Amino acid sequence: MAASWEDEKVTEASNDSFVAIKIDTKSEACLQFSQIYPVVCVPSSFFIGDSGIPLEVIAGSISADELVKRIHKVQQMHLLRGETTVANGSQSESSVSSPSASFEPNDTSENSQSRNVEFCQTPLTSPGTKSDTATGGETSSHAAPSQEPSECSNQRPAEDLTVRVERLTKKLEERREEKRKEEEQREIKKEIERRKTGKEMLDYKRKQEEELTKRMLEERNREKAEDRAARERIKQQIALDRAERAARFAKTKEEVEAAKAAALLAKQAETEGKRESYARERSTVARIQFRLPDGSSFTNQFPSDAPLEEARQFAIQTVGSTYGNFSLATMFPRREFTKEDYKKKLLDLELAPSASVVLLPTSVRTPSPEPSNPASSSKSEKREPVRKRVLEKRGEDFKKEGKIYRLRTQDDGEDENNTWNGNSTQQM
């Protein structure tokens, strides 16, 4: 059939009135074409008019002369049906099934009258210049095995083109919908596989981490067990060494016990000796802190067997006549020392090894003896104003409540003038 379409007679006969279209049997275009014009066998040639009705169908292969006769017959049928040519009108088409997957329109004439379509089994080359037909193709996968008769009717009953187009459109939509659903199913499957793979990866990583943690714990426990066993072995060895040493140096159990008791007594005696020596060292020295009424203090060390009078004399030498006569007292516990206490030792008064003593000024002053000479009297007269000023200053700095002296503050004046009732509220 390919040789027939490439013949020069066929080319001249179909040069001015036909448009050739070549369709591959495995292409989507062939499937769409077969929905409108059933393809009985391959190769097949369809001559289609402007109205879409097949004018002639050639099934199988024929000679070039027979093909020329069929072409002239189609032209006559077209004229008899009243499909006259129109200048600048529609052009005829000729479609041929070929192995290629693309449409190959050839040269078209201005006055086309019909469409020529051919399906062939063997691949053919396109016709020469100004040829409106093309051949070639393979057996369509969509053609049924039963559709293999060598002869088919030349004409098919005309069907309504609109119905066929609607049917084809519906089938195409169904096919698109099926493809879309298939694509969705594929995407869903891919997503499921992806999630499954991700979950498996997470499970695998978690298992690896758990195994690693388990191995680390086992290794740590094994190391601890080995350390404990090593310590136990060392302890056992030490115990054995001690037992051997004790057995070597002590022949009997009584000697061993006596040695242990002697060692314990020696240790206790040594401890007691150290304790007594430490107590003696602490008891030999008394560190006294003297706290003055103005808040200042000074410290000195005395022998623990020294009388309290020695500490008082040291305070008098250090303070001088700044506070006049004063007595010594401890605050914790509260105790004011008397004249009899000044003769006692610091150790007896519990002022060793350290203590804090407060200087308490007294208002009663001992009368000074009359000066034996005028020089001493003049000195005493000079000292009187100084002592008076000291006493006045001392009265301003200190406040005496019974035998308790305390420092004055800025709020003392207001507190003295205020009274307090039973529920801790203040009355002016």
Distance CA 388, CA 372 (A): 23
User: In the chain, pLDDT over 70 holds for what percent of residues?
Assistant: 64
Asked if the 286-366+381-410 domain carries CATH number 3.90.550.10, the reply is no
Q: What pLDDT shows up at residue 366?
A: 46
Q: Which of 71-85, 255-269, 287-301 bottoms out in mean pLDDT, i.e. has the lowest?
A: 71-85
Beta carbons of 269 and 249 less than 8 angstroms apart: no
Q: What pLDDT shows up at residue 426?
A: 56
Q: Which of 59-63, 76-80, 90-94 bottoms out in mean pLDDT, i.e. has the lowest?
A: 90-94
Distance CA 294, CA 392 (A): 15
More confident residue, 8 or 207: 207
Q: Which residues lie across from 360 on neighbouring strands?
A: 327
Distance CA 235, CA 207 (A): 41
Q: Which of 52-61, 67-76, 272-281, 417-426 bottoms out in mean pLDDT, i.e. has the lowest?
A: 417-426
Q: What pLDDT shows up at residue 185?
A: 93
Q: Which of 147-161, 212-226, 228-242, 252-266 bottoms out in mean pLDDT, i.e. has the lowest?
A: 147-161
Q: CA nearest 1: which of 129, 137, 100, 149?
A: 137
Distance CA 146, CA 197 (A): 48
Q: Which residues lie across from 398 on neighbouring strands?
A: 407
Q: What pLDDT shows up at residue 160?
A: 65
Q: What pLDDT shows up at residue 191?
A: 94
Q: Is the pTM of this model over 0.75?
A: no
Q: Which residues lie across from 117 on neighbouring strands?
A: 21, 46
Residue 250 has pLDDT above 90, yes or no: no
Domain boundaries, the chain: 2-157, 160-249, 286-366+381-410
Residue 113 has pLDDT above 80, yes or no: no
Which range of 47-61, 141-155, 401-415 scores highest in mean pLDDT? It is: 47-61
Question: Measured between alpha carbons, how far is residue 346 from residues 147, 311, 333 in Å?
Answer: 140, 9, 15
Q: Which of 45-54, 111-120, 181-190, 195-204 bottoms out in mean pLDDT, i.e. has the lowest?
A: 111-120
Q: Which of 16-30, 350-364, 366-380 bottoms out in mean pLDDT, i.e. has the lowest?
A: 366-380
SS3 string, the chain, reads: CHHHHCCHHHHHHCCCCEEEEECCCCCHHHHHHHHHCCCCCCCEEEEEECCCCEEEEEECCCCHHHHHHHHHHHHHHHHHCCCCCCCCCCCCCCCEECCCCCCCCCCCCCCCCEEEEEECCCCCCCCCCCCCCCCCCCCCCCCCCCCCCCCCCCCCCCCCHHHHHHHHHHHHHHHHHHHHHHHHHHHHHHHHHHHHHHHHHHHHHHHHHHHHHHHHHHHHHHHHHHHHHHHHHHHHHHHHHHHHHHHHHCCCHHHHHHHHHHHHHHHHHHHHHHHHHHHHHHHHEEEEEEECCCCCEEEEEEECCCEHHHHHHHHHHHHCCCCCCEEEEECCCCEECCHHHHCCECCCCCCCCEEEEEEEECCCCCCCCCCCCHHHHHHHHHHHHHHHHHHHHHHHHEEEECCEEEECCCCHHHHHHCEECCCCCEEC
- Sign for the CA dihedral angle at 393, 398, 400, 401 comes to positive
Residue 167 has pLDDT above 90, yes or no: no
Dihedral of the alpha carbons of 201, 203, 208, 209, in degrees to the nearest 10: 110
Tens-place pLDDT, residues 170-211: 888 999 999 999 999 999 999 999 999 999 999 999 999 999
Segment 403-416 mean pLDDT: 61
| CB within 8 Å of 97: residues ≥ 6 apart | 22, 23, 24, 25, 30, 42, 43, 44, 118, 119, 120, 136, 137, 138, 140
Q: What pLDDT shows up at residue 418?
A: 56
More confident residue, 329 or 22: 329
Which range of 106-120, 188-202, 275-289 scores highest in mean pLDDT? It is: 188-202
Give the chain's radius of gyration (CA, Å): 68
Q: What pLDDT shows up at residue 36?
A: 83
Q: Which of 71-85, 99-113, 223-237, 323-337 bottoms out in mean pLDDT, i.e. has the lowest?
A: 99-113
Q: Which of 165-169, 343-347, 383-387, 405-409 bottoms out in mean pLDDT, i.e. has the lowest?
A: 383-387
Segment 114-139 mean pLDDT: 37
Dihedral of the alpha carbons of 162, 165, 167, 172, in degrees to the nearest 10: -160
Q: What pLDDT shows up at residue 352?
A: 79
Segment 304-313 mean pLDDT: 89
Q: Which of 77-81, 86-90, 220-224 bottoms out in mean pLDDT, i.e. has the lowest?
A: 86-90
Instruction: Give the model's confidence band at 102: pLDDT under 50 very low, under 70 low, under 90 confident, else very high.
Output: very low
Instruction: Give the model's confidence band at 422: pLDDT under 50 very low, under 70 low, under 90 confident, else very high.
Output: low
Task: Say how far residue 151 (Cα) sits from the centre of its chain.
Answer: 78
Residue 381 has pLDDT above 60, yes or no: no
Distance CA 293, CA 362 (A): 12
Which range of 7-11, 28-32, 289-293, 391-395 scores highest in mean pLDDT? It is: 289-293
Q: What pLDDT shows up at residue 200?
A: 93
